[in-house]
Amino acid sequence: MTIKDVIRHLEHKAPPVYQEAYDNSGLIVGNAALDCSGALVCLDSTEAVIDEAIKLGYNLVIAHHPIVFKGLKRLTGKSYIERVLIKAIKHDIAIYAIHTNLDNVRKGVNKMICKKIGVVHRSVLKPKASIMRELKLLCPAEQVDVLRNALVKAGAGFSPSKQVLDFNALGVTHHAEDGTAMAQLEMRMLYPISKEQQVLKALKKTHPSKHPHFTIQEVLNTTHKIGSGMIGSLKEPMSALKFLKHLKKQMGAKCIRHTALLGKPIKKVAVCGGSGGFLLRDAIAQGADIFITADYKYHEFFDADGRIIIADIGHYESEQYTIELISEILSKKFDNFAVSKTKQITNPVHYL
pLDDT in tens, 207-250: 988 888 899 988 776 667 889 999 999 999 999 999 999 999 99
Q: Which range (19-23, 40-44, 53-57, 73-77) has the least confidence?
A: 19-23
Asked whether residue 163 carries a pLDDT value surpassing 60, the answer given is no
Q: Indicate the pLDDT class of residue 192, thresholds 50, 70 and 90.
A: confident
**Sheet (strand 39-42) strand order:** 26-29, 94-97, 60-63, 39-42, 339-341
pTM over 0.85: no
Q: At what angle do helices 47-56 and 80-90 cross, to 10 degrees?
A: 20
At 65, the pLDDT band (50, 70, 90 cuts) reads very high
The Cα–Cα gap between 294 and 317 comes to 9
Q: What is the DSSP letter of 33?
A: T
Taking alpha carbons only, the member of 50, 43, 35 closest to residue 87 is 50
Write the CB contacts of 192 (distance below 8 Å, at least 6 apart in sequence).
Answer: 17, 130, 132, 133, 155, 158
**What is the 8-class DSSP label of residue 76?**
-
Nearest to 30 by CA among 7, 64, 14, 55: 7
Helix axis angle, 3-13 relative to 322-333, nearest 10°? 120
